[in-house]
Structures are given as C-alpha cells and as structure tokens.
Amino acid sequence: MGVSEINGTLIWYYNICKKEVWFMSHSIVPDQGDENIDLGKFIHEFSYKRDDKEVSFGNVKFDVVFQSKQELVIGETKKSSKYEQASKWQLMYYLKVLNDAGINARGVLLYPQERKRTDVNLNDKAIKKLEVMVNDIERITNLNIPPEIESNRYCIKCGYREYCFA
C-alpha cells in the first residue's frame, strides 16, 4: 500500500488499534450487523443535511464541507466523542491533504448526539506526527499477518472483536 492509498479511516483506526489497520487494508470488513456500526451510519446519514456531504478529494472523503466567515471548513461527523483523539488525527490528515494541495482550511469535529463541536487545526508538529503515522501504516499494511492484539478499552465494542477473540 502506498501513501496515495492511505485515507482518513486508516488514520482513525491507527489511533485506536493497529490490528484494525491491517484488517481494513486487507479488505476485511467489521461485523456489519454490529449495532455501533449501524448507529454511526444513521447519524452520518441524517445529520447536517443543509451542508454538502461526502465530498471526495483525491483518496479522502470529507463528511461535511461548508463556508464560515469566508473560510473553508471541513467537518467530520462522529456518533460520540469517545474516540476524540483518533477523530482529531483523522481530520488533521484531511487538512494535511488539502494543505499539500495548496488549500487552506480548518476542521471541526461534529458530535450531533452530544450537541458538541470541537475545532481542529493543523500545525507543523501535527504534520510531523502524521508523517510518522503514515509510515507506520505502510509498514503494518505490508505485513503478511496482522499484528498481535493490543487489548484496550475499545475492544469490547469493536466490530472486529470476533476476529481477534474467536
């Protein structure tokens, strides 16, 4: 997998579980009957209807794009702030992709159920950390077998739990 194939979803999973990165990169999908996945799809589909949704730009897709005070804002809709750090890095990756193309934008994480918004901005330190993440994602995706389980607090509701703990 090359850098051009890395997307925001892989960045998000990287910050949750490295094994999930391997599954996703090898087209192994999580349990589609998982209620958490269904809820996330519902929230994504029915939130923020007034704005443009799912705008593709290269190999990434932004959930919401809107103008605010003459600036471009990229929004990422999530069902909960439980994964806020992973979501922040996913959105910063989108901002970096835009920045690399000469487009300045700011980001906002949207949590409709919580009625919460969190601003996200890209800086030099974040760009360097994203480069490390991208390199490690490439390493993980090139493995012949998935990395070992690193059990964490997210495993209990993970759509991949059957693969890891069967």
The tens digit of pLDDT for each residue in 92-139 reads 999 999 999 999 999 999 998 899 999 999 999 999 999 999 999 999
Tokens of 11: 């960045």
Of 39, 29, 11, 5, nearest to 95 by C-alpha is 11
pLDDT score recorded for residue 87: 95
pLDDT score recorded for residue 51: 47
CATH of the domain at 10: 3.90.320.10
pLDDT score recorded for residue 38: 44
Lowest-pLDDT range, 15-24, 34-43, 54-63?
34-43
Mean pLDDT in residue range 55-64: 80
Number of domains in the chain: 1
Q: Are 116 and 81 in contact (CB under 8 A)?
A: yes
Mean pLDDT in residue range 22-41: 67
CB atoms within 10 A of CB 26: 12
The pTM is what?
Answer: 0.81
pLDDT score recorded for residue 109: 95
pLDDT score recorded for residue 58: 78
Compute the distance between CA of residue 19 and CA of residue 150 in angstroms, rounded to an integer. Answer: 8
Sign of dihedral through CA atoms 45, 89, 158, 156?
Answer: negative
Domain hosting 55: range is: 3-165
Of 97, 103, 71, 76, nearest to 87 by C-alpha is 76
Strand ranges across the sheet with 71-77: 52-57, 60-68, 71-77, 106-111, 116-120
Q: Are 3 and 134 in contact (CB under 8 A)?
A: yes
